[in-house]
Amino acid sequence: MKPTTKALAAAAIAFVLVHVNAPESPNVPSVGPMRALILHDNTQDVQLPAEQQAVYHSQIIDQWLDEHTPKEADGEHSHRVWDVQTDVKNMPQVWQDWMRDTKAKATKLPWLRAEKGRKRYNGALPKDVPSTLEVLKKVGE
Amino acid sequence: MAKTILISDDDSSGDAVPDGGAKGLVQRDFRAHPLGSFEYAAELPDNLIIPRGEWSDRLNLQKKFQSRIIDVRNRGMDGKPIPSRDQNGRGYCWFHSGTTCMMLARAAQNEPYADLSAYAGACIIKNYRDEGGFGAQGLKFQAERGIPTSEFWPQQSTSKKNDNPKTWENAAKHKWSKWYDLEPRNIDHFVTACLMGWPIISDFNWWGHSVGTMCLEEVGNDWSKIVSWILNSWGDKWSQNGAGLLKGKKAAPDSMQCCVVTYASAA
């Protein structure tokens, strides 16, 4: 990546982090530990660049999120990869709220929502694993 | 770690077809159960098929980022491998293959590990008899009623006491909501599902067995170049932690359903 492109990407991420920091729902706490959701659509995934689709299950993303999100009552870390058709009625209320609010906010798919306290990213899933990790680090570190 | 078993068309490069474990596949009769005829099951639309020119690059990328379903399986139980199922001598492979795929799909969504018990649905469908079936038969039940955990239906139990409302209330948390009924032995369908990260319920008539296909190890434009990873239901002592390799036409399922979306739930 050329320095100018890198600078532009950093500026774009900073813009989103600064400007998307208001809770979407009264049920979503304004402070708290890190939580992340990748929302995608299986009927559109085949059209995605392979580099972007590789983000969903990449080990480096999964392990980073395991290290930076708390375990919930069910024993799993608080990050998920869900299709838009996933039925979440059996999930805790906070996840149901997240799914509802993220679906309402996502103007395109795949989408990434990551929050830690007041640091937030709520935008299109970055184009590949390294840039997704960069966004997550800005939120979670 | 035990040697990985490779079953190939080419006897000189592969291991002998294992014959030690229970199987139980009854070949699907496509006249009685045509493609896409099961409730909820759609055929794979042509616009979802990945062009052959992209296959190799996509697989290489999956390997680079360790994003194949075998990678998900190997870290899916709090960083450790998800245990393979064990049908323990009964001819219930056809329900275990779908159960295996459910556990893999849950791990791909980062749902917590749930020790799902395949005997539950198999016992109910067969009225507790030790009888064979085919993968789509199990899948239909899994979509309608789900699969309970071993807390409610212990692994390998055939006790009728397990069949109670609490068991099925738990099972309803582990249901399929979307899958595709793929064309038998269609390489484009098979490779697409593997590259999309959709576990495949795979019935192999040559083996008389149904297992879960996880992903690809090698890819090419005809079956002779395909090597796939399967997760068997003969326990973790079989092959490498229950996972083995199929090569060539041995990897081509005679009936296959790829599992796309499950309900999200705690264990």
Q: How far apart are CA B219 and CA B242, in angstroms?
A: 22
* H-helix or E-strand spanning residue A53: helix A50-53
Residue of A nearest to B71 (CA): A59
**pLDDT band of B23, cuts 50, 70, 90:** confident
Do the chains contact at B79 and A66, CB–CB below 8 Å?
A: yes
Helix (H, G, I), strand (E, B) or coil at B260: strand
Q: What per-residue confidence (pLDDT) applies to B21?
A: 72
Do the chains contact at A81 and B173, CB–CB below 8 Å?
A: no
**Residue B159 burial (10 A CB sphere; 0-12, 13-18, 19+):** exposed
Count of CB pairs separated by less than 8 Å, A with B: 101
Mutate to test the interface with A, among B65, B174, B178 (most CBs of A within 10 A): B65
Q: What per-residue confidence (pLDDT) applies to A19?
A: 40
HSE of B208 in the Cβ direction (CA atoms, 13 Å)?
11
Whether B192 and chain A come into contact, CB under 8 Å, resolves to yes
Residue of A nearest to B58 (CA): A50
pLDDT, averaged across chain B: 94
* H-helix or E-strand spanning residue A62: helix A59-68
- CA distance, residue B83 to nearest chain A CA (Å): 17
Helix (DSSP H) and strand (DSSP E) numbers for chain A = 5, 4
Instruction: Give CB contacts under 8 A, 24+ apart, made by B56-60.
Output: B56/B219, B57/A50, B58/A50, B58/B195, B59/B195, B59/B216, B59/B218, B59/B219
Class of the domain covering A3-22+34-140 = alpha beta
Do the chains contact at A58 and B65, CB–CB below 8 Å?
A: yes
Q: What per-residue confidence (pLDDT) applies to A22?
A: 43
pLDDT, averaged across chain A: 85
Q: What per-residue confidence (pLDDT) applies to A20?
A: 45
For residue range B187-203, list pLDDT tens digits in order.
Answer: 999 999 999 999 999 99
For residue range A48-100, list pLDDT tens digits in order.
Answer: 999 999 999 999 999 999 999 999 998 899 999 999 999 999 999 999 999 99
**pLDDT band of A4, cuts 50, 70, 90:** low
Q: What is the pTM of this model?
A: 0.91
Mean pLDDT, rounded, for A127-134: 98
Do the chains contact at B108 and A57, CB–CB below 8 Å?
A: yes
Q: Where are the domains of chain A?
A: 3-22+34-140
| Residue the block writes with tokens 């058709």 | A85
Chain B residues 102-141 with CB within 8 Å of chain A:
108-113
Q: Where are the domains of chain B?
A: 6-13+34-77+91-262
Q: Which amino acid is at A102?
A: T
Q: How far apart are CA B74 and CA B107, in angstroms?
A: 10
**pLDDT band of B186, cuts 50, 70, 90:** very high
Q: How far apart are CA B188 and CA B226, in angstroms?
A: 11
Does residue A15 surpass a pLDDT of 80?
no
Query: End-to-end CA distance of chain B, in Å?
Result: 29
Q: How far apart are CA B261 and CA B178, in angstroms?
A: 5
Do the chains contact at A85 and B177, CB–CB below 8 Å?
A: yes
Do the chains contact at B111 and A87, CB–CB below 8 Å?
A: no
Structure tokens at B189: 């369908």
CATH fold group of domain B6-13+34-77+91-262? Cathepsin B; Chain A (3.90.70)
Do the chains contact at A50 and B54, CB–CB below 8 Å?
A: yes
Q: What per-residue confidence (pLDDT) applies to A30?
A: 54
The H-assigned helical ranges of chain B are 55-64, 69-74, 93-108, 119-125, 135-144, 165-171, 187-196
Whether A91 and chain B come into contact, CB under 8 Å, resolves to yes
